[in-house]
Structure 1
Amino acid sequence: MIEGHLYIFPLLVCALIPFAYLISFIVAVHLGHSKFEYLFFSHSLIDSPESCIYSQIINFTSFILIITIYIRYRQIAELIRNHPTCGKKYSQLNLTFLVCGLIAAFSMSIISNFPHTNVFLVRICATYITFIMSVGTLYCEMLLSFCIRPLLYSIIIFQTITIVKYDNEQKLWTSTSLGWKYHLSSTLSAWILTSCLLIYILTLIIDFRRIKIISPKIYLTNDIIDDQMNQRLSLSI
């Protein structure tokens, strides 16, 4: 059996990530955990039940992202195999792409499952790993060093300033909060890089329309076949 429609996987990733944040934010505003005017700067996802909704959607998205990355890896590996002129460095670069992508997807799941105030260190480390590995994925896949590197540096700089100078348990940021400008710069940088990553994943839809997967064949060992035959003989007797 040949399986098509693989473009659904990157499409789901790009749709579910904004949907997870939006639906969680709507629930947070409805319950009074956040304010509507701070849509993109909310830290309300640490409260229940919106945090639970967000975590479930992101966990599922991480799983879909892993499938997407693996399909892309196998596609590139097949192209390399069909072109003998491609050197070993291309295979190594493709393997690096796979490793960075899988780590980024797993770290994204960690971010959604660890609350900001309870385990802040784990969450912020997972955030750094997610973005750094995502940029590493883009480096290997698209070689956009000059386009992506400034965005990555802006995230590290602004988030580090915010953590060191304004590390507190404040949930709701407003324009009058201490460190608001740093928090605003950090959040905008994160959203810019996230948007770049989602745009990149969207570009995979074009290639995934041209890919088909044949379902793997499963072969039974002789031991299993012999056991089944013996059971049938014993039942017939």
Structure 2
Amino acid sequence: MWRAYIGLLLLAAPAWADENATAYEALRVVGREFGRDALHQIVSITGTKGNPQPEKWKIVLEGPQGGGVREVEVVDGNIASDGTAQADVAGSTEGAMIDISRLNIDSSGAYAVASHTADASHMSFATVDYILRTDDRGEPMWIVTLQSRSLRPVGTIYIGATRGTVRRTEGMFAGATMEDVENAEDNDEEHGPFSGVKKQIKHAFHRTQDEARDMFERVKRSFSDFINRG
């Protein structure tokens, strides 16, 4: 729980605090340097080794009218690099641009929700990796991967970036996924990741989802409001 409170405190930190930039702040740099239209060409935003925020953000943009895919890095409020995206990235961007008007949770808020979820699953971690992209329905989604001190992934949390819903987890709740929870039948058979504590895990997962919704209401932050405030 304490990590979640740290996430909330970071949201309230003054602008002059010596903290790494959030994803929203990195996007503001992109809008400043390339124009507001560039914000409607965002394909993905990635940050690694966040503690809780990463030192740099990598942002992939699709060029207007099929003009190619570019990849920029934002560090300390400036564009640190600007070049052509790797071939595997460039080949996966069709129809994948993020609708920024649907973003309601910054990376700091995603950290708070993910931290609370990890605490509920009794999972400890040292750093986090972030990816913001669209899901298979075109909805923006945060993928937050928790890592140990040795940078080994210990769990992943998928958070809807519009409503803050914990959509899926990996490596938590005894290895149960969202599909396991939703499809588990309340019978006496013991099989799959739930084993003999199936009902308890299912209850814990749903309780954590409810608590994550409450957390989202506290950390909710519209990107449209953020960018229009300058």
Shorter-normalised TM-score: what interval? under 0.3
Structure of higher RCO (CA pairs closer than 8 Å, 6+ residues apart) = 1
Q: TM-score, normalised by structure 1?
A: 0.23
Q: Greater strand share, 1 or 2?
A: 2
Q: TM-score, normalised by structure 2?
A: 0.23
| Structure of higher CA gyration radius | 1
Q: Greater helix share, 1 or 2?
A: 1
